[in-house]
C-alpha cells in the first residue's frame, strides 16, 4: 500500500519506529570530509526525516551497520570466553536499489557461504530496509548495466514529493502505523534510474586467463593501495581477526574483527613471513575479477552492484568502471597469447 | 619637479632608479583576487606605465614606468580594485593608504589545496581589516599547513594552519596508513598499540596527514580552527633568522589580538631615530627583553585551553 | 543459533618434540575429524593460527606445529596440562575412499607430512584396503625429520622412502629430492594409481610435474593447499583464490581443480 505523508506525519512515524529500531540513513557529517571545511555524507543514526540526505550518494555504504568496521566478537580471560552482547534493538536502514542488491551479496557470504555468521545473522534478522527511490543517477553510477537499478524486496520505499514524502509499504506490521499518520493513501511506485552516464560492458569471453594480461601493470604505479575502494564498497566483506588485551590487566582482552582490504599491505601475509600479490596491479586484478568474474563463477551473479563509490573516492582517480571496460581488449590480448 | 618622497611612499608609490618615474604598488591581501581586476591593472600599465607588470614577492602587483605627474590618475584607476579587495582606505579615490605594514601574504589555502587546514586568504583579509592602514613595519604571512609553503617563519608573525586530529577508534581497521604517513612525511607522532593507533599529542604538529591518509574516516579534523603562531622571523641585513614557535594550538581571535597588542608595544618602544621610522620588531624586543614584549602582547588575550605557549624563546640565525 | 567463532578449551596431553621448531601437541578433542582438516588454534591475546590435524585417535588429536609466528611462538610456551583454545575442524580433509583399492603414492615435503600423516596411518592400519602404499617423505636435513618413530612402524606396512636434501657424509639417510624417486616407482598401472602431494609450493609444483610426466593422470593426483586463513569458515576472504575458498572447498584439492 502507498501513502503520502506530510513532514510532521513522517516524523511521527519515525518516532514510533524508533521505539523498536535504531534508524540509519545517509546523513551529512559537518566537517566530516578529509579536507578542511568539507562535509561528508555517510551513514549515521537519524532522529527526524530531514536528517536524511536524499540528493547525494553516501560516500561510505550502509554496509558498516551490518558489518561494523571494527566489531568485538567476544571477551576473554586466559581460560574463559564471553560472547559480546547483541544490539538491544533492531535496525531500519534507508538505502538505494544498488545497495539493497548488495545486501543479497552480504547475505550470500555471511549466511550461506560455509557456516552461518552468528554476529551477522543475529543483527540481520532484525533489520528492515527502506528503499530510497532514485530519480536521477549520480556521477559514476552504473546500476542499469549491472541490473541493480530496480528491486522490490524492500520493506518500504520512500521518496520526497513536494513538501512531503511518498512511501510504498511491503511490511504488514507497519501498515496500521503508516495509515494512521499519512495524509492520504495513493499508489506509489518507487522511482528508479533507467539510464546512467557511465556504462560498463563485461565481455562474455572473460576467463581467469584475464589475470595474465599486461593491462593490470598500469596500476602498479597508479594505485597507492590505500583500500578506500574496498572500504566504501557495499559488497566487500573481508575482515581480519585481532586479539587485543586491556593493558591495565594483561590477562583480559577481546577478540575482534576489523574490515580488511585486498588492496592494503598485509592482506595476504602468512605466518613466518611471505605474501602473495605484492604488486598493486595484481591486487587490482584480484579485486576487479572478483567483482565481475569469479564471484559469478561461484554464485551465479555478479558481485559488483554498480554504485560507483570506488570511483567516487579514489584519490588517484582510478576508475573501476573504466577498468571493466578494458576487459574486452584483455580478452583479445590473452586470447591472442594463447593462440 | 617637487615631490614629497615621504608622502609618495605612504601612498604606495616608490622612488625608482629612473628620475621622474615611479611605480604603483598594488597590494592583494591573501594573494587571491577576482580575475575582473586584472584588466584594470593592464589598463593602468598600458595607459600610464611602460606596459609591464611585476608580480611582487609579497603577492602584489607593481606597475612600473609611471610618471610622477600621473599618480592622481593612477590612484583613480586603482579605486575599483581597492574597493573590490576591501582595502581599508583613508580617502576614497586617493589610492592605497600607508605602506609601512606589508601586504599580508597567504598560500593558496583550502580554497584549492587539500593539505590546507583553513581558508588562508579569508583569514589574511580579516587581519588586513584589523591592522591597515599602518605605518609600522610589520610582516605577516599565513600558510595552510606545516608544509609552510608561504615561508611564514621568515615573517614577524607566522600563522600556520593546524588540525587537531580526532580519532574514532570504532572506525579504525589498523591499516597502518596513518602511522606510515606520519612517520614518512611528518613527525612520527603515531604508533600502533594493540591494533589501534596512539597519538603522541606533544609530538603532533597538526599537519592533518593522518586525516588525509585514513581510508575509513577514523581520523577526522577537529571542529575548531587552530594554528601554530611563530614570532619574529626576518630577512634583511643585520641578523636574518627564522621565526620561533610562540603558541601552538592558538585560535584566530587571539592571533589578531596579539598582533594588535604588538602594534601598541612597538609604538611605545620603537627607536625614534630609526631610519624611515622602520625598525624590525625583533630588534626592539632585544632591547626591551622578551618578558616586556610578552606582557604587552598577551594583554586581554584569552587563549583556548589547548594552547601551549613557548617561553622563553631564543632566536638563532646569522649575525653579521 | 550456533556461534562458530567461539573457541572451546582443549587440554594438552603430551608434547612430542621433533625438531627445535616443530612439536606435536597431543590434545583432547571429542568429535569427528578427518586427516587434512585443520583447526583454528588460539591463545587469547596472541590470536589464531590454522593448524592441520596430523593424527586422530579416540578423543585425542595431534597438531604438529611449526614455530613461525606470534601464535605458534606462544603455543610453544605451553606444556602438558595447559590448555589451548580451538575452533574447528574446518576444511574438507582427505577422503580415504578416493584411494581405496588403488596403488597409492604419498609424497610429503617437510611439515607437509602432518596433514597426510592420518592417511598414511589409516592405510598402514588397513593395508588390505589399498593395492599398494608408497610413502616418499623428504626433509631438508636429518635434523628436520618429523615423526621419525612412525617411519619404523610404517616401514613394515608400506614402501617407505625417507630422504633428505642434504646430509653429512657419514649419514645413513638417503640423499636426494623427492622428485628423483618418482620415475623409479614400481607400479603395476600408473594410469590408475593415485598420488597425494603435500609440501611447500615449489616442492608441490615439481612433484606434480614429475608425476604427470611419469604417467599419472591429473584426476588421480590430490594436493593440499596452504594459504593465509583467518576465519576458516568462508567469511573473511583471505584464503580466496579465484572462485575458490581454500578453507571451505579445500585445503585438499583434486589436481584438476587445485593447480
The model's pLDDT over C83-129, given as tens digits with 9 standing for 90+, comes to 999 998 999 999 999 999 999 999 999 989 999 999 999 999 999 99
Task: Find which of B173, B193, B220 to mutate to test the A interface (most A CBs within 10 Å of its CB).
Answer: B173
Is-contact B100 B277, C-beta < 8 A?
Answer: yes
CB contact A258 to B (< 8 Å): yes
Determine, for residues A271 and C233 on separate chains, whether the beta-carbon distance falls below 8 Å. Answer: no
Q: Answer yes or no: same fold for B105-162+226-309 and B166-220.
A: no
Does one domain contain both A111 and A222?
no
Q: What is the pLDDT of residue A107?
A: 97
Kindly state the average pLDDT of the residues A8-26: 97
Cell of C19: 625438531
Domain with A215, as residue range(s), is: 208-236+266-338
CATH tag for B166-220 (out of 3.40.50.150, 3.30.230.10, 3.30.70.20, 3.40.50.740): 3.30.70.20
Q: How far apart are CA B160 and CA A68, in angstroms?
A: 37
Q: What is the pLDDT of residue B260?
A: 97
Res. A271: pLDDT tops 70: no
- What is chain B's Cα-based Rg? 22
Find cell 492520504 and name the residue: A184
Which ranges of chain B does DSSP label H, i.e. alpha helix? 5-10, 38-47, 71-84, 120-131, 177-185, 209-213, 252-269, 281-288, 290-297
Cell of B246: 610562540
Domain boundaries, chain B: 5-84, 105-162+226-309, 166-220
Determine, for residues C44 and A260 on separate chains, whether the beta-carbon distance falls below 8 Å. Answer: no
- What are the chain C neighbours of A257 within 8 Å (beta carbons)? 231, 236
Distance of CA C121 to the CA centre of its chain: 12
- What is chain A's Cα-based Rg? 22
Give Cβ neighbours of residue A18 (< 8 Å, ≥ 6 apart).
Answer: A47
Q: How far apart are CA B148 and CA B153, in angstroms?
A: 8
CATH tag for B105-162+226-309 (out of 1.20.120.1200, 3.30.413.10, 3.30.360.10, 3.40.50.1950): 3.30.413.10
Does one domain contain both A213 and A114?
no
pLDDT class for C69, splitting at 50, 70, 90? confident
Q: How far apart are CA A190 and CA A170, in angstroms?
A: 12
Cell of C179: 622428485
* A92: in domain: yes
pLDDT tens track for C173-196: 888 888 888 888 888 888 999 999
Q: How far is A276 from chain C (nearest CA, A)?
A: 9
Does one domain contain both A214 and A175?
no
Domain boundaries, chain C: 8-90, 96-258
A 57-96 → B contacts, CB under 8 A: 60, 68-70
Res. A31: pLDDT tops 90: yes
- Any idea of the CA torsion for C187, C190, C193, C194, to the nearest 10 degrees? 110
Determine, for residues C68 and A121 on separate chains, whether the beta-carbon distance falls below 8 Å. Answer: no
SS3 call for A206: coil
Does one domain contain both A62 and A133?
yes
Q: Specify the CATH class of B5-84 in words.
A: alpha beta
Does one domain contain both A156 and A226?
no
Report angle CA A275, C146, C79 to the nearest 5 degrees: 85
CB contact C157 to A (< 8 Å): no
Sheet order of strands, A81-83 included: A81-83, A70-76, A253-259, A239-245
Give Cβ neighbours of residue B258 (< 8 Å, ≥ 6 apart).
Answer: B157, B229, B297, B298, B301
* ipTM beyond cut 0.95: no
* A107: in domain: yes
* A313: in domain: yes
Q: What is the pLDDT of residue C120?
A: 93
Does one domain contain both A223 and A175?
no
Cell of B113: 589545496
Q: Is the alpha carbon torsion for A199, A203, A208, A209 positive or negative? A: negative
Is-contact A70 B170, C-beta < 8 A?
Answer: yes
Bridging pattern class, strands C174-175 and C194-198:
unpaired
Centre a 10 Å sphere on the Cβ of residue C148 and count the other Cβ atoms it contains: 11
> Which of B169, B196, B217 is closest, CB to CB, to A40?
B217
Q: What is the pLDDT of residue C176?
A: 87
pLDDT class for A61, splitting at 50, 70, 90? very high
Q: What is the pLDDT of residue B174?
A: 95
- B183 closest CA partner among B154, B204, B159: B204
- What is the DSSP track for B124-147? HHHHHHHH-S--S---EEEESSTT
Kindly state the average pLDDT of the residues C132-150: 91
Determine, for residues A114 and C6 on separate chains, whether the beta-carbon distance falls below 8 Å. Answer: no
What is the CATH architecture assignment of C8-90? Beta Barrel (2.40)
Q: How many residues does chain C have?
A: 259
Element spanning A11, H or E: helix A7-20
Res. A192: pLDDT tops 80: yes
- What is the DSSP track for A236-273? ---EEEEEEE-TTSTT-EEEEEEE--TTSTTTT--TTS
- What is the DSSP track for A291-321? IIIIHHHHHSS-S-----HHHHH-TT---HH
Is-contact B233 A76, C-beta < 8 A?
Answer: no
CB contact A265 to B (< 8 Å): yes
Q: How far apart are CA A236 and CA A230, in angstroms?
A: 6
pLDDT tens track for A86-142: 999 999 999 999 999 999 999 999 999 999 999 999 999 999 999 999 999 999 999
CB contact B94 to A (< 8 Å): no
In a 10 Å sphere around its CB, with 0-12 CB exposed, 13-18 middle and 19+ buried, how is residue A187 labelled?
exposed
Longest dimension (CA), chain A: 69
Res. A272: pLDDT tops 70: no
Q: What is the pLDDT of residue B295?
A: 95
CA count, 13 A, side-chain hemisphere, C205? 3
Res. C258: pLDDT tops 80: no
Q: How far apart are CA C154 and CA B246, in angstroms?
A: 80
- What are the chain B neighbours of A245 within 8 Å (beta carbons)? 194
Q: Which residues of A203-236 are buried (b: 16+ CB within 10 A; e: fewer)?
A: beebeeebbebebbeebeeebebbbbbbbbbbbb
Q: How far is A268 from chain B (nearest CA, A)?
A: 13
Is-contact C225 C246, C-beta < 8 A?
Answer: yes
Is-contact B74 B48, C-beta < 8 A?
Answer: yes
Res. C259: pLDDT tops 70: no
Kindly state the average pLDDT of the residues C195-199: 94
Element spanning B21, H or E: strand B21-27
- What are the chain A neighbours of C248 within 8 Å (beta carbons)? 113-114
- A267 closest CA partner among A284, A243, A253: A284
Is-contact C251 C228, C-beta < 8 A?
Answer: no
Kindly state the average pLDDT of the residues B241-264: 97
SS3 call for A337: helix
CA count, 13 A, side-chain hemisphere, C96? 19
Does one domain contain both A175 and A229?
no
pLDDT class for A75, splitting at 50, 70, 90? very high
Enumerate the β-bridge partners of residue A245: A253
> Which of A117, A267, A271 is closest, CB to CB, to C68?
A271
Find cell 602498479 and name the residue: A220
Determine, for residues A114 and C49 on separate chains, whether the beta-carbon distance falls below 8 Å. Answer: no
Q: What is the pLDDT of residue A285?
A: 95
Determine, for residues B174 and A226 on separate chains, whether the beta-carbon distance falls below 8 Å. Answer: no
Centre a 10 Å sphere on the Cβ of residue A91 and count the other Cβ atoms it contains: 20
Express as a percent the part of chain C with pLDDT over 90.
Answer: 68
Chain B adjacent subunits, 3+ CB pairs under 8 A: A
- The mean-pLDDT minimum among A154-168, A241-255, B240-254 falls in A241-255
Q: What is the pLDDT of residue A309?
A: 97
- B150 closest CA partner among B127, B125, B128, B124: B124
Q: How far apart are CA A270 and CA A277, in angstroms?
A: 12
- What are the chain A neighbours of B218 within 8 Å (beta carbons)? 69
Does one domain contain both A216 and A273?
yes
Does one domain contain both A168 and A213?
no
CB contact C45 to A (< 8 Å): yes
- C255 closest CA partner among C213, C201, C196, C206: C196
pLDDT tens track for B226-238: 999 999 999 988 8
Q: How far apart are CA A87 and CA C140, in angstroms?
A: 53
Res. B131: pLDDT tops 70: yes
Does one domain contain both A279 and A181?
no
Centre a 10 Å sphere on the Cβ of residue C120 and count the other Cβ atoms it contains: 26
Cell of A150: 530496480
Determine, for residues A83 and C6 on separate chains, whether the beta-carbon distance falls below 8 Å. Answer: yes
Res. B171: pLDDT tops 80: yes
Longest dimension (CA), chain B: 79
Q: What is the pLDDT of residue A273?
A: 67
Give Cβ neighbours of residue C213 (< 8 Å, ≥ 6 apart).
Answer: C183
Q: What's the distance, Cα to Cα, between the start and end of chain B in Å? A: 40
Kindly state the average pLDDT of the residues A286-312: 96
CATH tag for C96-258 (out of 3.40.50.80, 1.20.1560.10, 3.40.50.1860, 3.40.190.10): 3.40.50.80
- What is the DSSP track for chain C? ---TT--EEEEEEEEEE-SSSEEEEEEE--S---TT-EEEEEETTTEEEEEEEEEEETTEEEEEEE--SHHHHHHTT--TT-EEEEEEEES----GGGGTTSEEEEEEEGGGHHHHHHHHHHHHHSGGGSSEEEEEEEESSGGG--SHHHHHHHHHHSEEEEEES---TT--SEES-GGGGSTT---S-TTT-EEEEESSHHHHHHHHHHHHHHT--GGGEEEE-----SSSSS-S-TTEETTEEHHHH-SEEEHHHH-
Q: How far apart are CA A201 and CA C188, in angstroms?
A: 53
Does one domain contain both A26 and A92?
yes
Q: How far apart are CA C196 and CA C112, in angstroms?
A: 11
Does one domain contain both A174 and A213?
no
Better-scored residue on pLDDT, A166 or C227: A166
Determine, for residues B172 and A32 on separate chains, whether the beta-carbon distance falls below 8 Å. Answer: no
* A46: in domain: yes
SS3 call for A226: coil
Enumerate the β-bridge partners of residue C61: C27, C56
Element spanning A106, H or E: helix A97-107
Amino acid at each position: 500500500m502507498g501513502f503520502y505523508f506530510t513532514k510532521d506525519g513522517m516524523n511521527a512515524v519515525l518516532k514510533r519506529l524508533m521505539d523498536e529500531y535504531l534508524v540509519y540513513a545517509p546523513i551529512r557529517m559537518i566537517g566530516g570530509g578529509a579536507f578542511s571545511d568539507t562535509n561528508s555524507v555517510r551513514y549515521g543514526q537519524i532522529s527526524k526525516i530531514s536528517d536524511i540526505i536524499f540528493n547525494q550518494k553516501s560516500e561510505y555504504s550502509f554496509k558498516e551497520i551490518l558489518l561494523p568496521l571494527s566489531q568485538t566478537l567476544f571477551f576473554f580471560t586466559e581460560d574463559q570466553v564471553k560472547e559480546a552482547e547483541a544490539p538491544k534493538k533492531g535496525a531500519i536502514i534507508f538505502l538505494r536499489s544498488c545497495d539493497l542488491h548488495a545486501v543479497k551479496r552480504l547475505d550470500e557470504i555471511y549466511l550461506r557461504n560455509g557456516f552461518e555468521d552468528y554476529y551477522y545473522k543475529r543483527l540481520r534478522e532484525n533489520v528492515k530496509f527502506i528503499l530510497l527511490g532514485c530519480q536521477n543517477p549520480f556521477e559514476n553510477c552504473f546500476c542499469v548495466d549491472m541490473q541493480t537499478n530496480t528491486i522490490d524486496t524492500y520493506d518500504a520505499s520512500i521518496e520526497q514529493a513536494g513538501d512531503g514524502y511518498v512511501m510504498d509499504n511491503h511490511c504488514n506490521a507497519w501498515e496500521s502505523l503508516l495509515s494512521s499518520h499519512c495524509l492520504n493513501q495513493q499508489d506509489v511506485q518507487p522511482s528508479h534510474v533507467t539510464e546512467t552516464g557511465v556504462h560498463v560492458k563485461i565481455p562474455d569471453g572473460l576467463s581467469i586467463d584475464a589475470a595474465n594480461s599486461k593491462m593490470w601493470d598500469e596500476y602498479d604505479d597508479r594505485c597507492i593501495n590505500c583500500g578506500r575502494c574496498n572500504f566504501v564498497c557495499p559488497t566487500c566483506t573481508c575482515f581480519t581477526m585481532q586479539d587485543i588485551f586491556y593493558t591495565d590487566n594483561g590477562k583480559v582482552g577481546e577478540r575482534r574483527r576489523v574490515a580488511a582490504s585486498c588492496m592494503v599491505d598485509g592482506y595476504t601475509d602468512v605466518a613466518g613471513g611471505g605474501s602473495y600479490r605484492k604488486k598493486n596491479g595484481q591486487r587490482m586484478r584480484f579485486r576487479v575479477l572478483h567483482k565481475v568474474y569469479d564471484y559469478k563463477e561461484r554464485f551465479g551473479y555478479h558481485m559488483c552492484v554498480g554504485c560507483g563509490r570506488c570511483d567516487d573516492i579514489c584519490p588517484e582517480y582510478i576508475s573501476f568502471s573504466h577498468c571493466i571496460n578494458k576487459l574486452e581488449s584483455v580478452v583479445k590480448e590473452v586470447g591472442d597469447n594463447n593462440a | 619637479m617637487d615631490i614629497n618622497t615621504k608622502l609618495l611612499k605612504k601612498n604606495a608609490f616608490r622612488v625608482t632608479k629612473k628620475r621622474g618615474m615611479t611605480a604603483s604598488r598594488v597590494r592583494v591581501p591573501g594573494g587571491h583576487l577576482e580575475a575582473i581586476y586584472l584588466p584594470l591593472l593592464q589598463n593602468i600599465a598600458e595607459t600610464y606605465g611602460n606596459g609591464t607588470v611585476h608580480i611582487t614577492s609579497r603577492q602584489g602587483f607593481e606597475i612600473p614606468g609611471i610618471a610622477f605627474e600621473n599618480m592622481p590618475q593612477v590612484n583613480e584607476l586603482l579605486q575599483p580594485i581597492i574597493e573590490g579587495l576591501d582595502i581599508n582606505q583613508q580617502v576614497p579615490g586617493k589610492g592605497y593608504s600607508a605602506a609601512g605594514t606589508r601586504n599580508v601574504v597567504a598560500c593558496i589555502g583550502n580554497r584549492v589545496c587539500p593539505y590546507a587546514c583553513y581558508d588562508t586568504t579569508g583569514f589574511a583579509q580579516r587581519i588586513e581589516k584589523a591592522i591597515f592602514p599602518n605605518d609600522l613595519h610589520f610582516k605577516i604571512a599565513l600558510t595552510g599547513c606545516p608544509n609552510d609553503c608561504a615561508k611564514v617563519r621568515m615573517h614577524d608573525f607566522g600563522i600556520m594552519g593546524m588540525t587537531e586530529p580526532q580519532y574514532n577508534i570504532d572506525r579504525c581497521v589498523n591499516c597502518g596508513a596513518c602511522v606510515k604517513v606520519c612517520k614518512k612525511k611528518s613527525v612520527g607522532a603515531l604508533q600502533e598499540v594493540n591494533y589501534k593507533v596512539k597519538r603522541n599529542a606533544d609530538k603532533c604538529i597538526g599537519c592533518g596527514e593522518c586525516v588525509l591518509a585514513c581510508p575509513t574516516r577514523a581520523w577526522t579534523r577537529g571542529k575548531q580552527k587552530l594554528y601554530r603562531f611563530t614570532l619574529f622571523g626576518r630577512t634583511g641585513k643585520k641578523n636574518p633568522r627564522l621565526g620561533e614557535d610562540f603558541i601552538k594550538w592558538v585560535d584566530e581571535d587571539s592571533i589578531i589580538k596579539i598582533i594588535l597588542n604588538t602594534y601598541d608595544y612597538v609604538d611605545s618602544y620603537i627607536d625614534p631615530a630609526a631610519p624611515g621610522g622602520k625598525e624590525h620588531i625583533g630588534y626592539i624586543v632585544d632591547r626591551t627583553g622578551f618578558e616586556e614584549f610578552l606582557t604587552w602582547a598577551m594583554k586581554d588575550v584569552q587563549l583556548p585551553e589547548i594552547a601551549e605557549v613557548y617561553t622563553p624563546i631564543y632566536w638563532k640565525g646569522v649575525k653579521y | 543459533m550456533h556461534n562458530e567463532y567461539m573457541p572451546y578449551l582443549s587440554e594438552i596431553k603430551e608434547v612430542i618434540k621433533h625438531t627445535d621448531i616443530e612439536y606435536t601437541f597431543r590434545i583432547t578433542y571429542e568429535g569427528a575429524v578427518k586427516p587434512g582438516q585443520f583447526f583454528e588454534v588460539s591463545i587469547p591475546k596472541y590470536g589464531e593460527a590454522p593448524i592441520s590435524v596430523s593424527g586422530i585417535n579416540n578423543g585425542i588429536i595431534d597438531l604438529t606445529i611449526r614455530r613461525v609466528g606470534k601464535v605458534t611462538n606462544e603455543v610453544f610456551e605451553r606444556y602438558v596440562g595447559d590448555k589451548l583454545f580451538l575452533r574447528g575442524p574446518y576444511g574438507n580433509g582427505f577422503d580415504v575412499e578416493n584411494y581405496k583399492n588403488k596403488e597409492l603414492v604419498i609424497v610429503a615435503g617437510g611439515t607437509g607430512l602432518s596433514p597426510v600423516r592420518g592417511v598414511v596411518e589409516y592405510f598402514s592400519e588397513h593395508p588390505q584396503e589399498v593395492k599398494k602404499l608408497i610413502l616418499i617423505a623428504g626433509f631438508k636435513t636429518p635434523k628436520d625429520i618429523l615423526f621419525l618413530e612412525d617411519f619404523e612402524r610404517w616401514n613394515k606396512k608400506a614402501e617407505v622412502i625417507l630422504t633428505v636434501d642434504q646430509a653429512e657424509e657419514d649419514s645413513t639417510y638417503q640423499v636426494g629430492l623427492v622428485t628423483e624417486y618418482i620415475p623409479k616407482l614400481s607400479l603395476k598401472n600408473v594410469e590408475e594409481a593415485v598420488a597425494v602431494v603435500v609440501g611447500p609450493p615449489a616442492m608441490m609444483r615439481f612433484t606434480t610435474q614429475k608425476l604427470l610426466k611419469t604417467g599419472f593422470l591429473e584426476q588421480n593426483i590430490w594436493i593440499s593447499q596452504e594459504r593465509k586463513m583467518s576465519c576458516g569458515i568462508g567469511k573473511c576472504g583471505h584464503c580466496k583464490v579465484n572462485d575458490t575458498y581454500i578453507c571451505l572447498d579445500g585445503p585438499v584439492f583434486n589436481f584438476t581443480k587445485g593447480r
